[in-house]
A = this chain, B = another copy of it.
Amino acid sequence: MKVNDIDMDAVILGNGEYPTHSMPETMLIMAPYVVCCDGSADEHIRRGFTPDAIIGDGDSLSPDNKERFRTIFHQIDDQETNDQTKAVHFLLDQGKKTIILVGATGKREDHTLGNISLLIDYMKAGAQVTMLTDHGMFIPASGRNCFKSYPGQQISIFNFNATGLRADGLVYPLSDFSNWWQGTLNEATGTEFTIHAEGDYLVYLNY
Contacts and interface: CB of A to CB of B under 8 A. Distances in A.
Contact of A113 (B82, B106, B158, B160): B158
Interface string A97-130: 0000000011111111111111011000000000
Nearest to A178: B161
A181 interface: yes
A120 B111 CA distance: 19
Q: How many copies does the complex hold?
A: 2
A61 B202 CA distance: 31
A204 B184 CA distance: 22
Given A106-B106, A120-B179, A121-B179, A184 B136 contact: no
A136 B110 contact: yes
Given A114-B180, A117-B179, A180-B114, A185 B82 contact: yes
Interface of A: 82, 105-118, 120-121, 133, 135-136, 138, 154, 156, 158, 160, 179-181, 184-185, 204, 206
Given A107-B135, A109-B133, A110-B154, 14 more contacts: A82-B181, A82-B184, A82-B185, A106-B106, A108-B136, A109-B135, A110-B158, A110-B206, A111-B184, A113-B116, A113-B181, A117-B179, A121-B181, A160-B179
